[in-house]
Chain A
Amino acid sequence: MKLSEACCGDRVIIRDFEGDEEILKKISAMGLRKGSQFEVCLRCGRNLLLRNHNSQFILSRDLADKIKVEVLNIEGKPCEAPCLHGDEQSNCEDYLKNELTNEHSRLRARKKRGLGIFKKVCPFLSKK
């Protein structure tokens, strides 16, 4: 599956790169190589934060789309942003956007300014 579909807390191993762009060569030189393992630590905005035992990378989703990975360990830690495998609403920004495209929720969002909207964006806030 694509790296961009991985969730927070997933351990993944990079299997392949799709496409032949220059930037992919650079990514591989930077240390994101076939066979290397990473944990997806965060996904917010358009970016993913990848971490392994000694490096951390920020990667935008359009690049993550071009990286094929295998998930080794799905159970990982709970995710800060709502993240469901294969679901569209896979990060907090999208979640917010989907909420807002709905006309009614536009109004609702306005009413729920303050902590309300933060809870929607990042549900960990309401988590006990």
Chain B
Amino acid sequence: MKKIRVALVGNPNVGKTSILNHLAGTNLMIGNWPGVTVEKRTGSTFFQEYEIEFIDLPGIYTLEEVLSEDEKITAEFLRSEEFDVLLNVVETPRLERDLYLTTQLVELRKPMVIALNMIDEAEKLGYSVDDKRLSDLLKIAVVKTVGRTGEGVKALLPAIVETYEKQQIPQLETLSLETLQPEDEREKRLFLVKGLSAEVLQRVFLPKRTITEFLDNLFLHPFFGFVFLFIILYVTFKLIFDISSPLVDFIDGFIQDFISPLVLISLENLGASNFISRMISEAVFGGLGMVFSFVPLIFVTYFFLTFLETSGYLPRVAFLMDRFTHKIGLHGQSIIPLILGFGCNVPAILATRTLQDRSDRLLIISMIPFMSCSARLVVFGFFAITFFENPLLIILALYLVGIFLSLFTAVLLRKSLLRKALSHFVMELPPYRFPSLRVLIRIVLLHLKSFIVRAGTIIFVISLIIWFSLNLPPGVERLEDSIAGKIGKTLSPLFEPIGLGDWRITTSLIPAFLAREAILTNLGVILKAEREETEAFDPKERLADQGRNLLSALSEIISSLLSPLPKKLSLEDEEEETSGLKGEIRKLLPLPSVLAFLFFVLIYNSCVATVVAMWREGSKNLALGFLFYSFLLAWFVSYIVYKFFS
């Protein structure tokens, strides 16, 4: 089978990745701001007797000047010529802008197909689009597409095959620019583009005020813009918690009080050895179950985060925040990676590739780890729900402290190692685009999948290792005397001053370096091992209990959605026996230690994936230096918190 390699090239945010997802069935990230794709990604499909491999590239405005890391990737790939056909994706309503790049691509003298994307938007804006004319002028195939829904996208495949077979290289008779001076060349190119665009796009009617204009008058308002920002963030945060926390409680109870004993009893009936059944109960259900119960939280968090990313509100936040951030030497665009950091720090660090200045990049990279990611949210959520009357407020406080420390770090670095004048800021604000629910859910499920895969692989292995280290050397009587207990106790003196001297806590800080959720796994395994199952197990009765729990979780969601203020766990609730392992943990830690622990987890860069990303995108010194700095800072802040509250 023959292979055709197709490079997707175009301006940023024109829908290249959306088209690829429809063509090759890939699940690559999309978002409504320039600079979502920052690395080369591929996807393949089969058509006729060909395997067609698509290479998605970061967006680029011009090949003349390559300023940022992501543009460099595209420019280098185009120079390498490791492709057979160029698929130039064009945002039809902004045809004149996009054709500037097209005329540069023409000079590569490679077979080319043009996708006139966002036809739907062009029509709404009152344009009539003459694709035949463009095809005649350039003598190549031109296809109208809608990347949002996939309309017309499949017609690209026969066009690509034909272009490849006939080696249709674009011809522009008027285009012999190489001989001109660079200055004249640009002038002439701009003229040419203007003419081309006028031939193809005709304005049939002028639309009334667009929804984007209307929303921007509110969201970008110098005063009310911030009011809306605050409301949007508050509502997002509240919804995340209101919807997910009752469900998390329910799943935790369901796993610990129903599934786990049920499986144990079945194993006993099957005659499994005590060793096996203990391992399954403690490592799998105690450790993994704890992490899995947070699936609703991850789902809801990513649902809202993805909505922000795909709607186009993110670059507006960049504009609003620039008013403040430029005072500490940061321009607004850097807000985008920081916000992405609330999902996961690693892609956020990659997203800094769009920044032009190296010292800006290093600065943002060292701010990102303070943005509390979803893995930390899981840990915070667990402790906050277990220990505090008002979990929402304590989590909000942790987020704010994280943001404050990232700003503190930025100022510190700007005044010392990364001293530099403020760089300029130019960005396109895309129109608001509301993603189809299908695409939204697909992206959220993607994040959820990676959470579950992580839990099923790395966290599962950690959980097994912890369990073994708790049960070795063989025949160990007390958990404190096991390997894990000894390691924990060795580390205790270091953490004693911040109230975390308990070996069960110190041991959980070690696996946390591989994945933060492992803190919960660790505690889950240990506590489950300590816990004695006393009650008799009657599956029917327990199942009925679980049914009631689910109903009460659902009614709790509805009631808290209806109240505008954050949910408050009443005091009776606290005295009530908590289901699952939460009750056990409450007995383990006094309140000041919990706070110190949460701050420590927030600040210390305890995630190996983030360190690796910092190393690769920044430098070795940055990664290691930051590790040391964040440990010191975490220890110091936790110490203050601990002393303050005890």
Q: Given A29-B64, A31-B94, A58-B319, check contact A23 B223 (CB 8 Å).
A: no
Partner of A26, one of B61, B221, B222, B319: B61
Q: Given A26-B65, A31-B94, A56-B429, check contact A63 B424 (CB 8 Å).
A: yes
List B contacts of A47 (CB < 8 A).
319, 322-323, 332, 425
Closest to B182 in A: A25
Partner of B428, one of A28, A30, A46, A92: A30
List A contacts of B93 (CB < 8 A).
54
Partner of A81, one of B62, B212, B222, B431: B222
- Whether B571 sits at the interface, judged by CB under 8 Å, is no
Q: Given A45-B322, A47-B319, A54-B93, check contact A23 B426 (CB 8 Å).
A: yes
Partner of A31, one of B97, B186, B326, B431: B97
Structural contact, A31 and B223, CB atoms closer than 8 A? no
Structural contact, A59 and B425, CB atoms closer than 8 A? yes
Structural contact, A56 and B62, CB atoms closer than 8 A? no
Distance between A118 CB and nearest chain B CB, rounded to angstroms: 7
- Whether A122 sits at the interface, judged by CB under 8 Å, is yes
- Whether A110 sits at the interface, judged by CB under 8 Å, is no
List B contacts of A51 (CB < 8 A).
213
Chain A contacts with B in 9-29, Cβ cutoff 8 A: 22-23, 25-29
- Whether A80 sits at the interface, judged by CB under 8 Å, is yes
- Whether B627 sits at the interface, judged by CB under 8 Å, is no
List A contacts of B206 (CB < 8 A).
53
Partner of B323, one of A22, A41, A93, A125: A93
Structural contact, A56 and B428, CB atoms closer than 8 A? yes
- Whether A109 sits at the interface, judged by CB under 8 Å, is no
- Whether B190 sits at the interface, judged by CB under 8 Å, is yes
List A contacts of B323 (CB < 8 A).
44-47, 93
List A contacts of B588 (CB < 8 A).
none
Structural contact, B67 and A46, CB atoms closer than 8 A? no
Distance between A30 CB and nearest chain B CB, rounded to angstroms: 5
Partner of A49, one of B65, B220, B326: B220
List B contacts of A25 (CB < 8 A).
62, 64-65, 186
Structural contact, B427 and A57, CB atoms closer than 8 A? yes
List A contacts of B186 (CB < 8 A).
25, 28
**A45 CA to B186 CA, complexed, in Å:** 32
Partner of A22, one of B67, B94, B190, B331: B67
Structural contact, B222 and A29, CB atoms closer than 8 A? no
- A-contact bits for B321-337, CB 8 A (1 contact / 0 none): 01110100001100000
**A28 CA to B101 CA, complexed, in Å:** 11
- Whether A89 sits at the interface, judged by CB under 8 Å, is no
Partner of B101, one of A29, A44, A57, A59: A29
- Whether A88 sits at the interface, judged by CB under 8 Å, is no
- Whether B597 sits at the interface, judged by CB under 8 Å, is no
Distance between A3 CB and nearest chain B CB, rounded to angstroms: 12
**A51 CA to B425 CA, complexed, in Å:** 16
Structural contact, A80 and B426, CB atoms closer than 8 A? no
- Whether B517 sits at the interface, judged by CB under 8 Å, is no
- B-contact bits for A56-78, CB 8 A (1 contact / 0 none): 11111011000000000000000
List B contacts of A28 (CB < 8 A).
186, 190
Distance between B128 CB and nearest chain A CB, rounded to angstroms: 14
- A-contact bits for B86-105, CB 8 A (1 contact / 0 none): 00000001101100110000
Distance between B524 CB and nearest chain A CB, rounded to angstroms: 47
Structural contact, B222 and A42, CB atoms closer than 8 A? yes
Chain B contacts with A in 304-356, Cβ cutoff 8 A: 315, 318-319, 322-324, 326, 331-332, 356
Structural contact, A26 and B67, CB atoms closer than 8 A? yes
Closest to B325 in A: A45
- A-contact bits for B182-195, CB 8 A (1 contact / 0 none): 00001000100010
Structural contact, B425 and A58, CB atoms closer than 8 A? yes
**A27 CA to B428 CA, complexed, in Å:** 10
List A contacts of B151 (CB < 8 A).
none
Q: Given A22-B67, A56-B428, A57-B426, check contact A33 B190 (CB 8 Å).
A: yes
**A80 CA to B221 CA, complexed, in Å:** 8
- Whether A34 sits at the interface, judged by CB under 8 Å, is yes
- Whether A101 sits at the interface, judged by CB under 8 Å, is no
List A contacts of B429 (CB < 8 A).
49, 56-58
Closest to A20 in B: B183
Can you list 9 pairs linking A and B with CB atoms under 8 Å apart?
A23-B356, A25-B186, A29-B61, A34-B190, A56-B431, A58-B426, A58-B429, A60-B426, A80-B222
Closest 3 A-B residue pairs measured CB to CB?
A: A45-B323, A29-B62, A31-B97
Chain B residues at the A interface, C-beta cutoff of 8 Å: 61-62, 64-65, 67, 93-94, 96-97, 100-101, 125, 186, 190, 194, 206, 212-213, 216, 220-223, 315, 318-319, 322-324, 326, 331-332, 356, 424-429, 431
* Extra contacts besides A118-B223, A121-B222 (10): CB < 8 Å: A23-B67, A26-B61, A31-B97, A34-B190, A51-B213, A54-B94, A56-B216, A56-B429, A57-B428, A60-B425
